[in-house]
Amino acid sequence: MINSQETNTDTISDEKITSEVLIDIKNLKKSFGRLEVLKDISLKLHNGENLVVLGKSGSGKSVLIKCIVRLLNPDGGTINLLGKEVNSIKGKELSKIREKIGFLFQSGALYDSMTVKQNLEFPLVRIKKDLKEAEIDHKIKEVLENVGLADVLEKMPSQLSGGMRKRISLARSIILDPVIMLYDEPTTGLDPVTSDEISELINSVQEKYKTSSIIITHDIACVRLTADRIIMLHEGHVYAEGTLEEFEASDDPLIMSFFK
Amino acid sequence: MKKLKILNLKKAHSLATERSIKLSEDTLDQKERANGFFQEVGDMALFIKQIVKETFSRNFEFKEFLRQCYEIGNKSLPLIIITGTIMGLVLTIQSRPAMAKFGAVTMLPGMVAVSLIREIGPIITALICAGKIGSGMGAELGSMKVTEQIDAMEVSATNPIRYLVVTRVLAATLMLPILVLFADAFGFIGSWIGVNIKGDVSLVLYIFQAFGSITFLDFFPAVIKTFLFGAVIGIVGCYKGFTAGRGTESVGKAANAAVVLSSLLIIIVDMIAVQITDMLS
């Protein structure tokens, strides 16, 4: 059932819900100066699902996932992440919880001064310190194969295409075997074919690594390929929530402007 | 007549109101500027606190520290050698006529040595490094900030202060005194060349004369202050890069601000160091 402003936002299609909630956000607020970006956001991410957060540019989608990993500090509300209140933890505890999260940045955010191999090694050698060199090499090879790139180990990020950079960035995000994946506009700036490939990759990562994901996007092709459930943000609020079929059948003008 | 008086009163009132509003606006503007200044000072103090804390943490990034030493030290060396040589040469050529007037040309090596070691070597090297190293740090970290690389590091549970900042600040602090020693040494060579333009002095005799005028009190405070210059360059460069805005324009601004602020602070630190040395001696 689609839930827009007038209806109850708590109803979600039952078959998509599993018992475990990995992220539980309640009444989240975030402002930048006088600009209120998130006014009152509440949402849940269930185990094993792909939750797509849809919305216009500037609707606060990226701010939302940056609040989840505490790259930004929320002004109000609570974020329960894997059983911990994110707002109240810091230091080692925050690092521990961040190890369980993979984050794919909009720009890829590969380290410019490092080769692909060094980029992939970077989190691994710092978090899993007991790994031997052979095990590290094996892990790097494995994630590269999983994202469909095997022969780019010694290349610099500047030598890669946009799609390849996204794949390497995705490989770096999954190298620590995360429980949750957060994708910040994964297909932005890519051609339609590569965008579809990245969307397929998101599904394949979910299948192989048994992750649950929040995908921030305004790319409807990506939504169609990846979404188990969709939440639409508008003017700092959850405007609508439902399945892809429900969104596509909606006659709400704002939703229609995305889907038709 | 009464109407004219009222009109004049109204004009005076509106003029007074206008001036009062302008005064209030100016006061608010100055208050905001003052707030901005104190906020920046506070932010930098917190930044330094974090650097100190992470410097003594268990997981020191030694490999990255060595890489930064190489980047800062080795790659700045040619520039420092050229500058040091020219510094010594010019100082000698410029000082010679004045020394000749008093018949003190034989004291030229000693005068140049004291000038180079006490002041010119450290300050010129530090200002050159502020331009080369400080701007590099500001631009590199600023661009990492803009392209979300610092965020990516943080999300992957790696402390960016420890990896990016501590290594750079320590490398700059350690490398600057070494670069100053090179600048001084090549300054002596430049000075020897300058002396030999109008005279004939062997290098051994020149160095003997130069070192004969230098005491431990000339050398020691100069070395101590170069450590401080290095720390200033590292901290300001990293701080400006780390606090760069989100657009590409902010990368240029961060690099520029790093050079301007670190140069200014170097001169202020130098002034304080000279005062302290003077009081102690």
Identify the pLDDT of residue B135: 95
- φ, ψ at A239 (rounded to 5°): -85, -40
Kindly report, residue by residue over B90-136, the tens digit of the pLDDT.
999 999 999 889 888 888 999 999 999 999 999 999 999 999 999 99
What percent of chain B stands above pLDDT 90? Answer: 64
Distance CA B255, CA B243 (A): 11
pLDDT category, B1, cuts 50, 70, 90? low
Region A2-6: mean pLDDT is 51
Would an 8 Å CB–CB cutoff place B25 in contact with chain A? no
Beta strand A76-81 with A84-85: parallel, antiparallel or unpaired?
A: antiparallel
- Predicted confidence at residue A6, as pLDDT, reads 44
Using CA coordinates, name the residue in chain B closest to A72.
Answer: B151
Q: In chain B, which residues have their Cβ closer than 8 Å to the Cβ of A95? A: 157, 159
Q: Note whether B155 contacts A103, CB cutoff 8 Å.
A: yes
Say whether A127 and B59 touch across the interface (CB within 8 A).
no
Residue B222 has pLDDT above 60, yes or no: yes
- CATH architecture, range A1-100+212-260: 3-Layer(aba) Sandwich (3.40)
Distance separating alpha carbons of residues B9 and B1, to the nearest angstrom: 12
Residue A9 above 50 pLDDT?
no
Q: Which of A4-18, A56-70, B107-121 has the lowest mean pLDDT?
A: A4-18
Residues in a beta bridge with A180: A101, A212
Contact list in A for residue B59 (CB cut-off 8 A) is 126
How many angstroms separate the CA of residue A127 from the nearest CA in chain B?
A: 8
Rounded to whole angstroms, the Cα distance separating B277 from B219 reads 11
Question: What interface predicted TM-score (ipTM) does this complex get?
Answer: 0.86
**A172 interaction partners in chain B (CB closer than 8 Å):** 152, 156
Record the tokens describing residue A105, joined without a space.
């940045």
B223 and chain A: CB distance < 8 Å anywhere? no
pLDDT in tens, A202-227: 999 898 889 999 999 988 999 999 99
Asked if the C-beta of B52 comes within 8 angstroms of chain A's C-beta atoms, the answer is: no
Residue whose C-alpha is closest to residue B126's, from B232, B216, B221: B232
Q: Looking at residues A122-144, what average pLDDT do you find?
A: 90
| Nearest chain B residue to A176, by CA | B156
Task: Choose the weakest-confidence range: A87-96, A109-118, B71-80, B267-276.
Answer: A87-96
What's the per-residue H, E or C state across A106-168?
CCCCCCCCCCHHHHHHHHHHHHCCCCCHHHHHHHHHHHHHHCCCCCCCCCCHHHCCHHHHHHH
Question: Which of B20-29, B199-208, B224-233 bottoms out in mean pLDDT, i.e. has the lowest?
Answer: B20-29
Residues of B in contact with A96 (CB under 8 A): 157
